Amino acid sequence: MTQSIVVQVGQCGNQVGCRFWDLALREHAHVNKNGLYDEALGSFFRNVDSSESGGGACGIGGRIQRLKARAVLVDMEEGVVNEILQGPLREVFDSTQLLTDVSGSGNNWAVGHMTYGSAYREQIVDKLRKAAEHCDCLQCFFLIHSMGGGTGSGLGTRVLGLLEEEFPEVCRIVSSIYPSAEDDVVTSPYNSVLAMRELTEHADCVLPVENQSLVDIVNKIRQMSHGGKPGSAIKRDSAVISGQGGLSGAEKPFDAMNNIVANLLLNITSSARFDGSLNMDLNEIAMNLVPFPRLHYLVPSLTPLYTLADVSVPTRRLDQMFSDAFSKDHQLIRADPKRCLYLACALMVRGNVQVSDLRRNIERLKPSLPFVSWNQEGWKTGLCSVPPVGHSHSLLALANNTCVKPTFMELRERFTKLYRKKAHLHHYLHVEGMEQSFFSEALGSLSSLIEEYHQLDATKGRLVPDAPRLGIAT
């Protein structure tokens, strides 16, 4: 069995990570009734014997002693990490996994990437190595961060570069939360475009999630709870609304949005955590979905969007669920993949679903999904037998699709508006090691990425004939 490590950076990264660990523990508690430390738990948790002075690890098959998350938590403000350490998850982490400062990055990519990245480089590498040493077969790093702030975008992408340096053979999957156009951080376009260059260069796969999409989804779920449909309601102590007692308790502003991203991570890791008739190796995601190294932005869509049994709405039939996964309402970025071009697509299904169900639905949907001419059969499928708590089945679709292009173009436009006036540039150029060329290079990298998607889009509907085969002389 393989293991993975979650690296959560910045306020957003740690809040999403906190929700992931909470929901993962709930899932395992629902499945693991005998209290034994099994391979499923071992993929993301260590079992530490608290009676030993050194906190020695307990092997597979023994009783669960004390579970420790395979995680590294980094933030240049103490608030969120301290909150986690005082909350119900405090036993899941220990001090060797944490790295905090007090002053924050001031919404400045350069401070996070250059200042803190240099000051804490050795400590970050040390914590990553220690986490890796606890793994028998390290398969993947999951990095969770946001693009708009200073620590998540700056230090988060510095950590990504360190992962590539120190562990070049280990897969790097990044969940990146993109700011909305109405973001309250005026410098977020700078931070996002500077971070984009690093993601394009150093990640194996990026799962882009837009804040605005999360807001829209949460509003839809809230409508269900306020008489939107008969029989639909959100339960009062609901993990979809809050990690702190739901509607009956003090709700945190971003809990509902963070849960959606946490559910994305639950589904993508399900085949690493549980058995299935057609399990998908995490390495296979990049191998099968990324035909060109820079075009590794995979658009995620989830169905159902509320993975725990918190929203009392009728269960979607299996075929409806497949249709939902390709509708624009279920995408975690504002995009319509059916109107753009697919390079490849992965379907990760959980629950009592047969391979024949998968094949039938792929054949049914194929005519409406435009694939590139040279990869008409570009499907990767995975079946995990354990469904999410409270559901009979769920589906995560990961689409390598040119529909990300408008999101990147909008980001470039917001960057250019600021950069044309050189607005706020001095805050970045005062940071040691930061040069103005970084901005123009980052903009060039993004424009090049957009152009690559544009060239692929131009081939849509144009069948490219197969190359003539060599004739054999007789």
User: What are the strands, taking DSSP E only, across 237-373?
Assistant: 299-303, 342-351
147 in Cβ contact with 187 (< 8 Å): no
Measured CA to CA, the distance from residue 171 to residue 90 in angstroms comes to 28
Residue 334 has pLDDT above 70, yes or no: yes
197 in Cβ contact with 38 (< 8 Å): no
Say which amino acid occupies 89.
L
DSSP assignment string, 441-459: HHHHHHHHHHHHHHHHHTT
Torsion 128-134-138-142 (CA) sign: negative
Share of the chain above pLDDT 90, in %: 66
Task: Compute the average pLDDT of residues 186-193.
Answer: 96
Which tens digits make up the pLDDT trace of 388-397?
A: 888 888 999 9
Q: Given pLDDT bands bounded at 50, 70 and 90, which one contains residue 236?
A: very low
Measured CA to CA, the distance from residue 93 to residue 67 in angstroms comes to 9
| Residue 103 confidence (pLDDT) | 87
CA angle (340, 346, 350) in 5-degree steps: 130
Task: Compute the average pLDDT of residues 63-73.
Answer: 93
Residue 228 has pLDDT above 70, yes or no: no
Containing H/E element for 401? Answer: strand 393-401
| Residue 455 confidence (pLDDT) | 94
Q: Please, where are the H alpha helices in 45-187?
A: 79-86, 109-110, 117-119, 121-133, 156-166
| Residue 246 confidence (pLDDT) | 34
Task: Compute the average pLDDT of residues 272-296.
Answer: 90
Residue 333 has pLDDT above 70, yes or no: yes
Look at residue 377 and give its three-state secondary structure.
coil
CA–CA distances in Å: residue 323 to residues 214, 223, 236, 378: 20, 22, 30, 18
Task: Compute the average pLDDT of residues 202-209.
Answer: 97
User: Which of 54-58, 243-247, 448-452 comes out lowest in average pLDDT?
Assistant: 243-247
Residue 230 has pLDDT above 50, yes or no: no
Does this model's pTM top 0.75? My answer is yes
Measured CA to CA, the distance from residue 95 to residue 77 in angstroms comes to 15
- Residue whose entry in the numeric block shows the structure tokens 């001419």: 373
Joined together, the tokens standing for residue 95 give: 């001090």
Beta pairing class for 71-75 and 393-401? unpaired
Q: Please, where are the H alpha helices in 326-404?
A: 355-365
Q: Given pLDDT bands bounded at 50, 70 and 90, which one contains residue 471?
A: low
Residue 180 has pLDDT above 80, yes or no: yes
10 closest CA partner among 116, 121, 86: 116
Q: What is the mean pLDDT of the chain?
A: 87
Which tens digits make up the pLDDT trace of 398-446?
A: 999 999 999 999 999 999 999 999 999 999 999 999 999 999 999 999 9
Joined together, the tokens standing for residue 330 give: 């279920």
Could you tell me how far CA 277 lies from the centroid of its own chain? 24
Share of the chain above pLDDT 70, in %: 86
Q: At what angle do helices 79-86 and 10-31 cross, to 10 degrees?
A: 20
214-229 as b/e, with b when 16 or more CB fall inside 10 Å? beebbeebeebbeeee
First to last CA, the chain: 52
